[in-house]
Amino acid sequence: MLRPHQVSRRVGVLLLLFATALPLVAAPPASADDPDEILRFRFTPTKRAQIALWIEDDNGTFLETVRVTQAVSYRGIGNRPGAFAMNSGFRWPYGRREGVLPVWAHRRASAEGASLFKRVIFQDRLSEGLASRTSNDFSRDDYFCLSFNKATTKKDALDAVSCASVFTSDKGRFMVASDEENGYSEPHESDGKSFMRPMALGSVYPPRRDFESCAPTCNDHEDAALFGQHAKEVMPNIDAVTMATPKGGTEQIIQWPVPADWPAGNYRAFLEINTEGDYSEKFNASTMPTPTSPAGKWDSWAISYGYPYRGQPSVIYQVDFALRNGGPPVVSAATPVGTGALEGVD
């Protein structure tokens, strides 16, 4: 659900978003399935921005994802082990970032014929708030890491550090019905209150699929070997729409072929952007600090390392455009139309 625009303007997040309908003039369509128009999108994001770009019809029906940044669609930061409110840091391995691109995620999941992804949780840790293991649940991780040097896990070190050594992580397992029936939950703090927040079986985000599981000959749960296959079953075009996190301040140009069976008419393109730790007067480390309660549900690694990442929620830009009926060839938007939910609930 789009919420009223309530964040400060992020200079550099987006200069202009263009949706340009262009006829393909190089050659006529080879078949009825070939596109006769393309859309060209241009925008300039800030650094470390996570992005989703999608199209709906003018009735608000979700039609197609155009692009999603790989931290979400490939690295699986929205659906991995660890509590939502857990601190973050450079390539932080745990914590479901369910507020990263919530409007796109919920609209995709609510489309006709769409389904949810299976939720990923720790294999068997005592709490989703534990950043350190309580059992042999680890295997080599070639991307994510958790530094033993506190200084390198803080926000001001994001652009100055790297993973110093090989890290081992818990890739997790799928949550199952018995977990839900037994009240599986995660520690959470919101509005000055702490509580155990119930968790559902489904997630609107894909699991990570950037590794080859060593199960069953290692500590990986057997589910880890199924993450990639499952993500593609739920979202078959996930590889085609995945994009690298763009360099900040650099204009992005994306061309996308319009499906030949889309009728003439009015459409809407949406661009959702979120930057972790994007603080403002309302959303910052003081108003949403590192969670420490309920007591015993967070370990010292979760409390003392990293930084409280919850800043401003995602912002959404919208452009309305027409296909095959003589509408304006270029349309643009420079002002957000709303925001996502900070905690990713819709």
CB contact at 8 A, 51 and 243: yes
d(CA 94, CA 88): 8
d(CA 138, CA 91): 17
Q: pLDDT digit string (tens) for 160-215?
A: 678 877 899 999 999 999 999 999 999 999 888 999 999 999 999 999 999 999 99
d(CA 145, CA 158): 13
**The model's pTM:** 0.90
> What is the DSSP code (8-state) at residue 151?
G
CB contact at 8 A, 339 and 6: yes
Query: How high is the pLDDT of residue 302?
Result: 94
User: How far is the CA of 317 from the CAs of 29, 131, 200, 300, in angstroms?
Assistant: 32, 35, 30, 39
Only one residue has tokens 């500590």, namely 219
Rounded to 5°, angle at Cα 207 from 214 and 106: 170
Query: How high is the pLDDT of residue 15?
Result: 33
d(CA 196, CA 183): 10
d(CA 176, CA 257): 39
CB contact at 8 A, 148 and 166: no
3-state secondary structure of 280: coil
d(CA 283, CA 106): 23
Number of H helices and number of E strands within the chain?
6, 17
Closest CA to 122 of 188, 172, 86, 75: 172
User: Is beta strand 193-198 parallel, antiparallel or unpaired with respect to 185-190?
Assistant: antiparallel
d(CA 274, CA 100): 6
Query: How high is the pLDDT of residue 21?
Result: 55
Query: How high is the pLDDT of residue 9?
Result: 39
Task: Give me the residue spans of the domains in the chain.
Answer: 18-339
Query: How high is the pLDDT of residue 13?
Result: 36
DSSP letter for each residue of 194-227: EEEEE--SEESSPPP-SS---TTSSSS-GGGGGH
Regions of the chain short of the pLDDT cut 70: 1-36, 160, 326-327
